[in-house]
Each structure stands twice: as C-alpha cells, then as structure tokens.
Structure 1
Amino acid sequence: MEESPLRERLIDVGVELVKTEGTGALGLREIARRAGVSHGAPRRYFPTHQALLSAIARRGFAEMGARFARAGAGAAAPRERVRALASAYVGYALEHRAMFELMFRHDLLASPVEGGAGGPRLRESTLPLFGLLVELVAWCDAAEPELTAAALWANLHGVAQLWAWGSLPLVLGSDAGDLVDRLVGAALDAHLGPEAP
C-alpha cells in the first residue's frame, strides 16, 4: 500500500509534537493545525484519534528498532550485543520519555495500526525487537531463551520506568548516569548469570 504524503505529514507532526510537548499536545485539531490542513483532514486517514496515536507510536517502535540495529552492530560477542540492546532500550526510554509512554499505552497496544479492526495491532510492533533479544539470549546459552528474554525485558522496562519516575535515584541516593549503566549490568547478571572474567 502506497503511503499518502498527507498521512505521513500528519504522523511526522504528531511525532514532533510528542517529542517536544508531550502526549498532552496530541489532539487531532492541533496536529491538523500544525500540518496546515483542516481539522477534519486527519479523519480521511485515521478514523479515530486512537488510530493516529497508534501510527505515531508505531514510528517510535521503528526508531527504537533502528537504535537497536546501531547498538548491536559494533559488538561481537552475544552478551555484548545483549548489553548494547539493553542499554539502547533504557536509553531510548529515558531520552524520549513521552514517546516511550505512548508506545506502551495499553489502549494503543491493543488497537489496529493499519487496515481497520482485522489489521495488525500495535503490540505486534514489539515482536521483531523481542525476537532479536531472544536470539541473542539463546546465544548466551540461557536454558529457556524466551522466558529469560521476557524476564530481562520486564526488568529493563522496570528500570526505565522507575528511573524516570525518580524512584530509583531516590532509593539509591544518586542520579548519576553511570548508575543506570550499572543497573543494566545488574539486570543482565540476574538473568544471564555473571559475566565470565
């Protein structure tokens, strides 16, 4: 299916808005205004506000996937690649807080991103990223790669959320950036075992 330039412009405007002003700025009228179209124009491509938000969030998953690809490219050993991906995940969550929150909103994850009710759901955008993590965890000789990868993902998501909310800096008594790296390392050790010397 060929993408409409206006449809893409609406998504681009939404992405820019969420990154600069947060999710509260993502009204249909504001997106239309900034795209230079009538307030009814988005409805031609997005039947609901939720459909437009899902398309914006899907762009976030694409950005995260590109970050994963860059992060893992320089690492040779499987564990190094897992660490690079883990750091990229938490880093993206902390650098693009509003987009990350939009990407994991439950109501959006359950909504279709294309083709109406029977189309793929936003949640399915996580499958390639999770598949890569499972593959790398398997190369690290984990006994149950899918389960281990899921537990690691949950741990990393928790680190990102609790750090952004200020809970981890509070309990650990620091807001130093290297502490985030140490938390990522601790998560890997907890799920993959300590790194061999």
Structure 2
Amino acid sequence: MKIIAVGMNYAQHNKELGHTVENKEPVIFMKPDSAILKDGKPFFIPDFSNEVHYETELVVRINRLGKNIAPRFANRYYDAVTVGIDFTARDLQRKFREVGNPWELSKGFDNSAAIGAFVPVERYKDIQYLNFHLDIDGRTVQQGYTADMLFKIDDIVAYVSRFVTLKIGDLLFTGTPVGVGPVSIGQHLEGYLETDKLLDFYIR
C-alpha cells in the first residue's frame, strides 16, 4: 500500500504559503506506508520538529489495479472516501526548501498520515462537491470544499497512473485548503465530511 499526496491543490492555501507560481500539472509526493495513523490512535509530536502543522484533506481509497487510466474512467478506480490529515513538519520543510533539497522527510515521517473511517462513495451524490472541516477542541479551524480543487480527483487519478501503477488499498490525499496551522500536545482533533464525523483523536 502506498500513499500518494497532492500538494498545492487549493488556490487560497497556495497564497497562504506564499506560492505564486501556477502549476500546470498536479504536484505529487509520496508517503511510506509507515506514515499511516488510524483507528483513533494518538499522534505523538516528533522530537525533530518544533512546528508540526495539520493539513486536512479528502482522502480517496483505490479499489482496483490501474495504469494509464483515462480521466473518464478514473471514477471506477476508487470506492471510498474519508477525511485525513497530512501532518507536516513545517520547520523542516522550510529548511529543506531553502537549499533546494527534496522535502519528503518533512511529510513522510511515521504517523504523518492520519485517516478516518472510510465511507462508500455512493453515500454522497458527487464527491467533487463535498464540504469537509477540522475541529480542534470543539472549534472549527479549517474547512474546505472539494469543488475548489485546482486539479479534480479523476484528473489526479489519471495523471498519477501515468507514472505509477495504482494498487488496491492505495490512498490518495487530494490536497489541503486554506487554514493550516500548528498542533500542540493535549489537543483533540475531529474531522468531518459533510455532517459525518470520521476522524477523532488526540495530540500527545
């Protein structure tokens, strides 16, 4: 199982991070399977970072083998969605970027991909028109609408499949909207897709 993630997929978030270049193709990075954090287990802030940010995203689960998928058939290759958090060691990311080095370690460290309970795509009329949000200690800190994606889910699936074969159980993190911020010990995180609470865990 692999985790495929999309960077800079919401215009307002790109402004938030100071990115001014408009990407013509999706920005893709990977996380190893050891990044998965699930079943409500706590997230432990790692000792190598003083600034871990939450990035709330819609996560899509791949359900069949696919290579060179045409965009019009891409919806056949996933069966379930959830809310996830792409934890990012922002201080490390800045440090790596400043010298032009890859920044995988700031994104792919252990437990950096929190995922909630999966829901069949059939539950929603169209997953490209879904609201999602993150509450911390009962207060909404980030909200997104999947229609605002710069690159749509089916186009991302098709694009990625040109380079890497998609396999059953692979996860696609589809990008984060504006409103990312730091986490601290003791906080309670709850992620919602529409009115469904799918993610619920604590920071330790």
TM category (shorter chain) comes to: under 0.3
Higher relative contact order (CA 8 A, sep 6+): 2
Q: Which structure is larger by alpha-carbon Rg, 1 or 2?
A: 1
Between Structure 1 and Structure 2, the one with more helix by share is 1
TM-score (ref. length: structure 2): 0.24
TM-score (ref. length: structure 1): 0.24
